[in-house]
Chain A
Amino acid sequence: MSVAEKTRIAERLAGVGYIADPGLATALALMDMLKRPLLLEGEAGVGKTEVAKALAAIHGAELIRLQCHEGLDRADALYEWNYQRQLLAIKAREGADPDTVEAHIFSETYLLERPLLAAIRRVDPPVLLIDEIDRADEEFEAFLLELLSDFQVSIPELGTLVATAIPRVVLTSNGTRELSDALRRRCLYHVLDFPEVDREARILLARVPGIDTALALQVARLMAEMRKQDLAKIPGIAETLDWAAALVGLGVPRLDADREAVFETLACVLKTREDRARITREVTDRLVGKVA
């Protein structure tokens, strides 16, 4: 990896609308160089999932997503036999040679691909997003570790399937459970924070059509102030984008030009009743006064 490569990745990400911080560009460049998965941590709403989407976009690769949840098992994540079809096939071939039938119903036609199997069987390396790995059980994490180190899966009836192309793997975690050291060691690691003001402004310019630089800067500054307030749910980048889109849609040219609209559209940003009660009209006015 070279510095040039890092810059190139950052530029290509910007080209698809993802404004990355320099550390993330380095980590993504390293992913290709070292062939390791990338583990992203950070608050909800800082754009962890977006990283995988942007990565898929710049490589023109397919994005395969595995959303983790409690009780996720191999049948949901890896593969399952299509039992109904198998039963039908057995019925349809009644009287035929049992060995032929057996060989037939355990062929790949009857295999249901789940995300992990799909990811290692593509010809072009896809981007595999394993979202919220901390929600899955520890057993599953151990299994995943095995898959991520060998990129092969053994299916008892079929034999071992080896990856045709090594996928780029992105894991995200919200920290609801401590991940194992083994998994952490295996992965590259990056912490995503809420963007600083000018990066958030650049994100707004890239993602919200029709927004001008001055409004984007004001919105970004106000969001930075908002995150310093003692809120129960700190608004993420998605909220910023929604809110900016709402303001543009209502034709608000500047935050200080139409404070009424600003206060009313805060529903895009504040998502709990306490937060709504905390950011009163006066607080909003004070914050707008600060950033305008």
Chain B
Amino acid sequence: MAAPAFRTPDAIGASVRTRLAGFIRTLRDTGFKVGLAEAGDALAILAAPEMARPSALKPALRALLCGRRSDWEAFDALFDAYWLGRGVKSRVALSGAMAGAKPSLGAPASRPGTSEGPANDVSRGDGVADADAAPAGKREGASRAESLARTDFRKIADPDALAEAHALAERLALRMRARLTRRARATRRGRRVDLRRTIRASLPSGGVPLDLVRTRRRERPLRIVVLLDASGSMSLYTGVFFRFVHGVLDAFREAEAFLFHTRLVHVSHALKEKDTARALDRMSLMAEGVGGGTRIGESLAAFNKGHAARVIHSRTCVMILSDGYDTGDPERLGAEMAALARRCRRIVWLNPLIGWEGYAPVARGMAAALPHVALFAPAHNLESLAALEPYLARL
């Protein structure tokens, strides 16, 4: 950011200015919404007397540059790391400067040896260079796309094909978004005239009803809350599904996303990123620390306790993407599902395993959760994602 362009008090040296610009860039990379005006004000704070001391500077910059609670909680660590060089490790993790050694749920790149990388079970064999697996464009035409639509994501071996499946999922989502939005607009028309308000509004024009006031249905926009299972066994599906949700999202103005494995991570920020690839990167970054085992029950409990009151209202659909293999207590899962079902409009459980032949939801956790689920559907290939549309439209 062009620091010298700020309206700056001259008292501040160029080096401090550059440092401040760097700090603001770090904050932006971490998801803070900081504009030019804020940067200018930050400089003004720095120029104020007695502000050189970190103890005075930190609370002042925090009040100025934070915009939400998550910013607020991350700020102290970022500030200390940047200005005081403390806890540098945590800064790297937060700012995303570290390129290697993070499990990626998205792009079909994988590192032999880690257990979470998608597609690692298929590409490990011959040690193909994974680094150049970025989406390379489509080589074949429609027939290829058609066959891809029915293939289980798990069975797509070729990195190119997987990239293509990702792209198709996104295109599918975009088409669905357009249709879903149009439907919402059509239902908005044709309301009745509210006579009482019309007459009230006609007073300034001497009783001539120039403007008709129509009855407004107090409708809260539908909100989707996505809970994604980020355990190793699911990573392949999670990535594609995240792309799908990201694409379909604009039809629903409100959405929240959480990842869970052994604990719950709030990733809605990643969902708000406009560019899909970057969104996926950010989510993968947030998913770091994926451990062994999935504790669905405990993650749901954390959700019910810490987030549900804020993110769930009466018109909320909760989508859970998980294979239902729970290492925790199934009774707990059942109880938390019941609590969740009481709060929200409906719960959709997408389980890629349904697409497998001979699957029955007998795992104890899954069986405990099923009574509270409104729709139990597969999400293992593009076709099954497309099949979700009528359901989303009806919500």
Bound Cα distance A83, B35 (Å):
43
Which residue of B63, B69, B204, B310 contacts A27 across the interface (Cβ within 8 Å)? Answer: B63
* B67 engages A83 (CB within 8 Å): no
Q: What sequence of 0s and 1s flags, for each residue 261-298 of chain B, a beta carbon within 8 Å of any chain A beta carbon?
A: 00000000000000000000000000000000000000
Q: Return B244 CB to nearest CB of chain A, in Å.
A: 22
Interface residue? B48 (CB, 8 A): yes
| Contacts known (A1-B60, A36-B41); A175 close to B310, Cβ less than 8 A | yes
Interface residue? B50 (CB, 8 A): yes
Bound Cα distance A34, B41 (Å):
7
Q: Tell me the B44-74 residues at the A interface (CB within 8 Å).
A: 44-45, 48-51, 53, 56, 59-60, 62-64, 66-69, 71-72
| Contacts known (A30-B45, A184-B33); A81 close to B204, Cβ less than 8 A | yes
* A30 engages B67 (CB within 8 Å): no
Q: What sequence of 0s and 1s flags, for each residue 248-264 of chain B, a beta carbon within 8 Å of any chain A beta carbon?
A: 00000010000000000
| Contacts known (A1-B45, A176-B310); A189 close to B203, Cβ less than 8 A | no
Interface residue? B38 (CB, 8 A): yes
Q: Return A144 CB to nearest CB of chain B, in Å.
A: 16
Interface residue? A71 (CB, 8 A): yes
Which residue of B51, B67, B206 contacts A189 across the interface (Cβ within 8 Å)? Answer: B67
Interface residue? A181 (CB, 8 A): yes
Interface residue? A155 (CB, 8 A): no
For A71, the chain B residues whose CB sits under 8 A away are: 218
Q: Return B342 CB to nearest CB of chain A, in Å.
A: 14
Number of A-B contacts (CB under 8 A): 78
Bound Cα distance A185, B36 (Å):
10
For B72, the chain A residues whose CB sits under 8 A away are: 189, 191
| Contacts known (A1-B45, A185-B34, A185-B38); A30 close to B68, Cβ less than 8 A | no
Interface residue? A70 (CB, 8 A): yes
Which residue of B33, B60, B218 contacts A185 across the interface (Cβ within 8 Å)? Answer: B33
* A1 engages B63 (CB within 8 Å): no
For A87, the chain B residues whose CB sits under 8 A away are: 203
* A30 engages B64 (CB within 8 Å): yes
Bound Cα distance A179, B66 (Å):
13
Residues of B within 8 A of A (CB): 33-35, 38, 41, 44-45, 48-51, 53, 56, 59-60, 62-64, 66-69, 71-72, 203-204, 206, 218, 254, 310
* 5 chain-A/chain-B pairs, Cβ below 8 angstroms: A30-B45, A36-B64, A181-B67, A189-B62, A189-B72
Known: A3-B53, A33-B44. 15 other contacts (CB 8 A): A1-B45, A4-B50, A23-B63, A26-B59, A27-B59, A27-B63, A30-B63, A30-B64, A86-B203, A87-B203, A90-B206, A179-B68, A185-B33, A185-B38, A189-B72
